[in-house]
Structure formats: C-alpha cells, structure tokens
Amino acid sequence: MKIIRRKSDLRILTRNWHRAGKSIGVVPTMGALHAGHLSLVEAAHSRADRVIVTLFVNPRQFNKAEDLKKYPRTEESDAQKLVPLGVDVLYVPKPEEIYPDGFATTVSVSGVSAGLCGATRPGHFDGVATVVTKLLLQTDADCAFFGEKDYQQLQVIKRLAIDLDLKVEIVGCPTIREADGLAMSSRNLRLNSTARDIAPVIKKVLSEAATDIERGQSVRLAVGSARNGLIEAGLDSIDYLELRRASDLAPLETSCESGRLLVAAWLQGVRLIDNVPVGISSLSGAKHRLTVQSN
Ligand code: AMP
C-alpha cells in the first residue's frame, strides 16, 4: 500500500489506472478506523479494481475548535489496518492540497442539509460537501462509499454528486454495530464505562419506535415514547429524534413506504447519532428473514 500526500503524485497513478481500464473506488475517512470504515473498504473492493482510502481530518466540518483538537489522529495504526485489506493507496493530503492559499469556494447543498444535524451543527455540511467534492475530484473516483451511519451526510453527498455532474457513483453501506447494537463510531472511545453501558439503548429505542410506527402507532406517540425512553435510560439531552422520508429527508407526519428514524443525543458530553429504516421496505425485510428461518 502506497501512502501519498500530494495530489500531483496521486494523479499520475490514477491516470495510469484509468488508461489501463481499471476502475477506482474511494473511501473517504477522517481516520481512527474501526470495523465500520473497514466494511466500506470491503464494499469498494467488491465494486472497483483499485481502492483508495483517504484520511483527512477536515477542520471546516467541526463547529468547535475543541472538538477538532480532540479528534483522534492515528495514521500509523490506521495504515496497519488497511494493508491486510489490499488497499492500493492511503491518500493523506497535506492541508494545503485541500485548502490552498486564498481558498474561497464552498459547496453548499440546500434541502437535505436543512434540519437534523444541519440545524444543530451550523456550517457542518458545507464543510463536508466541500471536502468530499475535492476528494472525489482529486482521486478521480468512479465509485465512492459512505456509511448509512451518517445518513444525512450520505444524502447530502448523493445530492451534490448529481447536481455537480460528478461522474462518480455514490454507494451507501449499512451501519456496522457492536454486539450490543451500538453503532460503531470513533466517538465511542470517549464514553466512560457507565456511558458505554447506557449507549446501546439508542439503537434499542429506535428499533422499538420503528416497529411501533410500522404497526400503525402514530408517529407523534412513537417518537414521544422513544424520547422518554432515552432520557429515562440516562441520555442527557436529545438534539433531535425525527421521522423523515428516506430518499430526501423531507419531514414526515405519518409513516410512508420508506422512512428513516434519525436521532442525535448527548451522553456525558459525547454526541451520538444513529438511524434505522421505517416502513414497508423494512417490514418486507422482516418477512424475508422469517421465510429464511422457517426453511
Ligand atoms: P468518518 O471517519 O467518521 O468521517 O467516517 C468515514 C466514513 O465511515 C463515513 O462514510 C461514515 O458514514 C462511515 N462510518 C462511520 N461509522 C460507521 C459505521 N458504524 N458503519 C458503517 N459506516 C460507518
């Protein structure tokens, strides 16, 4: 695996790959890699001939300087995790490769960026959209892989790829969870043992609310009892817990064919996010599982 820090060096390689008819799959990350990130690498391998993982802790998507400072930086161990997976390039751009002197351009996606994390983290999605656009262009990606764990981010990136005519296919990949259901995240490292014991309740409460809505309970009631469940279990506060349409994150008052229940909540100073599917699509998934079991 090559570690590359300059876009000019990367371009020589990607140009040769494309000339040789090889497709390029890209997995953008901020490092501190866990099994969630590695699942994206596997997905990239299954769709592309060459795989590039990018590692860039993007200052423009952090709202608080303190958060940026605290973000884990573990390039060496990240690289060690990627080598056995057969990654071709780890691209760790120097800051000036992303933000040259005089940098003055922002990619700002309206609609899907509004509300949810967009409301509680102003400017966050502008930072994400700008850096992801640049990384997709610099890597000359044919396909790029993002986790459903950050569901709103995935929708923002799908939107910008369509709107800006990027030739890349954006692929969403399922959330990878710990055995107790907690969605894997680099932030989980900041949970002390009491908080770590409480955190799995997020997935449990979301799944219960999703089932209740699918069975016909009103969205308002299901969301209300999910909120209470989180606070009773020890979460400190909830930024949002909302049902949205899965495709474009439009608010939903009632269930629809394909919805997404999304949450952001605080636990002892750590902000955790998660989401689950709601609707006919997840019901048919349950039916499928039943059929498999009965055979
Ligand atoms: P990050 O390094 O946090 O910016 O995440 C890089 C990519 O990994 C994003 O596309 C995330 O959505 C994805 N990701 C993070 N956690 C998970 C997870 N538990 N399961 C699947 N993908 C994830």
- In this predicted structure, what is the pLDDT of residue 255? 66
- Average pLDDT over the chain reads 93
Ligand 1: residues within 6 Å at CB? 29-30, 36-37, 39-40, 146-147, 149-150, 173, 175-176, 183-186
| 37 tagged catalytic | yes
In this prediction, residue 293 carries a pLDDT of: 34
Q: Which of 18, 37, 45, 124 is catalytic?
A: 37
Q: Could you report the per-residue pLDDT of 164-208, keeping only the tens digit for each?
A: 999 999 999 999 999 999 999 999 999 999 999 999 999 999 999
Ligand 1 atom closest to the CA of 174, numbered from 1? 21
Task: Kindly report which listed range (21-25, 43-47, 70-74, 145-149) carries the lowest average pLDDT score.
Answer: 70-74
211-246 residues labelled b (16+ CB within 10 A) or e (exposed):
bbbbeeeebeebbebbbebbeebebeeebbbbbbeb
Q: Can you tell me the mean pLDDT for 148-159? A: 98
Nearest CA to ligand 1 atom 11: 147
189-203, 217-231, 241-255, range with the lowest pLDDT: 241-255
Q: Please say if the pLDDT value at position 284 is more than 80.
A: no
Instruction: Report whether 261 contacts 206 (CB < 8 A).
Output: yes
- CA-CA-CA-CA torsion sign (272, 202, 82, 141): negative
Nearest partner of 201 among 175, 173, 178, judged by Cα: 178
Ligand 1 pocket, mutate which of 149, 171, 180, 190 (most atoms under 8 A from CB) = 149
Domains of the chain: 2-173 (3.40.50.620), 186-279 (3.30.1300.10)
CA of 152 to the centre of ligand 1 (A): 12
pTM: 0.94
Burial letters 181-197, b for 16+ CB under 10 A, else e: ebbbbbbbebbeeebbe
